[in-house]
Chain A
Amino acid sequence: MGIINAVKLIYDYVTKDERGDVENVTSAIRGVDLDIQAGQFIAILGHNGSGKSTLAKQMNALLVPTGGTLTVKGMDTSDEKNVWNIRQTAGMVFQNPDNQIIGTIVEEDVGFGPENLGVPTKEIWDRVYDSLKRVGMMEYCDHSPNKLSGGQKQRVAIAGTMAMKPECIVLDEPTAMLDPNGRKEVIGTVRELNQKEGVTVILITHYMDEAIQADQVYVMDEGQIVLSGTPREVFSQVGRLKELRLDVPQITELAYELKKEGFPLPDGILTAKELEDALIRCKEQGYHVKAKSGEAKHVDKDRTS
């Protein structure tokens, strides 16, 4: 059994009126089976409202199943006794950096987690500096968090989670609010934690290119996992992903479009290098496109003039 294991997981949001009678039940998760091995890098995709965040919140017992079970390192999240240990095992980072930073100085903020766990003072400082070094934010340890960029704030938030020494971190759209540089910083940091420190990473994202590097991609729809596999397996299903309100990385889309035009390209091209090589092979084989006379070329926007 993996570090995170879900069996027939169900979660219903129940709204009640003033008298406590059930008004409405919304099923956010409808029978998810999941087994994530320690040390893996997992990406979870899915449109808004598909249940991704609800699933993420199960992983550190912010929400507990209304049906089925979810275990973190063998601990059942439904058992209240386990809550603290679960949260120490699986840390979370949310979308908006401003909503999760509470300290007035960076090092204070990072120390908040371990302090809550009752870690001795000396060790708190060790952990704070160690975590800040790991996310590359040590030089900002005595800065005020509100002067940092979005990417830097997210790295501080990740350090705050790392200071609790989790074996697994769950990141819920950590780059949605960041500029391209901030996104690169955060994804780079997360990948390094995964590869160098062996931390299990569960990344929820709407950016398809961030999912390319994952070991395994899960796609959710209507509270269920509808597609899973390696990034190549998942992203080769361009049509199906579009039905699920998702997208594919630009390179994959370009390859897909060229293939529709008749180019002899393999399925599931993910990287620029793969597409370049495949196109070079087309050239070497003497592949030729027949000119369609009279067809307008740049229909999109005329930027050539």
Chain B
Amino acid sequence: MSIRIEHLNYIYSMDSAFRKQALRDICLDIDDGEFIGLIGHTGSGKSTLIQHLNGLIRATDGKIYYNGEDIYQEGYSMTKLRSHVGLVFQYPEYQLFETTVLKDVCFGPGNLGLDAETCMERAKKALSIVGIKEKDHNKSPFELSGGQRRRAAIAGVLAMEPDVLILDEPTAGLDPRGRNDILDQIADLHSRMGITVILVSHSMEDVANYVDRIIAMNRGSVYMDGTPAEVFERYAELEKIGLAAPQVTYFMHDLQRSFPGMRADVTTVREAKDAILGWFEGGEKR
């Protein structure tokens, strides 16, 4: 049991005219080693929710347990929590500030109180995970390309060796290859090191391709929670809350009209291909 959220509520600007309830009665269990996609329209509360998970925002009421411990209990170390739960913000490359890439990545582990040598070791490891070559380690972060800067910034969080990695739209503004590179590296980390990953994304295709479980939010509440096939099956409801299913899911549903028996619980190009191949193998007798 990694993270348990119980009846979490959060209200912005509580005692003012701008009072707004951003989260309503959220209850979630997130197990160790899950790969979760968090989707929802702009303003649905995704970013507010993830900021609770490493203690950046304190809930108005409700409880969060990390590994069974109440993070709001007296004496609970938020610093420790933040070393376990790493959060990569949107456009994290804007937060790069050091003179060299390597120094920048060392900043996080340094803050955990590790000695310089360990920091260096971890930073190098993190940079190799995200695919930044050694020859670029001593460059200024500002000499790197956009995609490389993004990866360097992610390395800064990886160097803290979190057990839970939360990424808020890590691929926004990247080209398709850059997007796949980053997501592949995250998926690889997830499968090799067994870390829990929560991916916030507006790209339904990316979510379908990578995650095992989708949590869809609407107006501060959890609206759907299930596998990609389960969630995208309900595309009509998703559209009502400003979301959609991947293009192939729609296509396969349309295809059922002319191809009775065609599987439509499909969320990726690969699954669609298999479903069509399967149909043409069996022919119309299906």
Could you tell me which A residues sit within 8 Å of B by CB distance? 46-50, 95, 149-151, 173, 176-183, 206, 208-209, 242, 245-247, 249-251, 253-254, 257-258, 261, 263, 272, 275-276, 279-280, 282-283, 287-291, 297-301, 303-304
At the interface, is chain B mostly helix, strand, loop or mixed?
helix
A258 and B42 contact, CB distance less than 8 A: no
Pick from B5-13, B22-30, B113-121, B277-285 the stretch touching chain A.
B277-285
Shortest B240–chain A CB gap in Å is 10
Q: How many A-B residue pairs have CB under 8 A?
A: 137
User: Of A48, A263, A279, which is within 8 A of B178 by CB?
Assistant: A48
25 A-B pairs in the complex with CB atoms less than 8 angstroms apart? A48-B146, A48-B175, A177-B172, A179-B41, A179-B202, A179-B243, A181-B242, A206-B179, A242-B177, A249-B247, A250-B205, A251-B247, A251-B248, A254-B248, A254-B276, A276-B251, A276-B258, A280-B258, A287-B280, A288-B281, A291-B281, A297-B274, A300-B271, A303-B229, A303-B267
- Docked CA distance A251–B219 (Å): 32
Please measure, in the bound complex, the distance between the C-alpha atom of A177 and the C-alpha atom of B174, giving whole angstroms: 11
Find out whether the CB atom of B271 lies under 8 angstroms from the CB atom of A251: no
Which of the listed residues B174, B212, B242, B254 has the most CB atoms from chain A within 10 Å of its own CB? Answer: B242
Q: Is the CB of B276 within 8 A of A258?
A: yes
Contact B42 A245 (CB under 8 A): no
Interface centre among A247, A297, A301 (most CB of B within 10 A): A301
Q: Decide yes or no whether B108 CB sits under 8 A from chain A.
A: no
CA A95 to CA B174, docked complex, whole Å = 12
Given contacts A247-B176, A288-B283, A289-B280, contact A179 B242 (CB under 8 A): yes
Is the CB of B132 closer than 8 A to any CB of chain A? no
Taking a contact as CB atoms under 8 Å apart, the answer to whether B273 and A261 are in contact is: yes
Instruction: Tell me if B269 and A253 are in contact (CB < 8 A).
Output: yes
Partner of B251, one of A183, A247, A254, A298: A254
Q: Which residue on A lies nearest to B273, using beta carbons?
A: A257
Instruction: Let me know if B272 is at the binding interface, CB within 8 A.
Output: yes
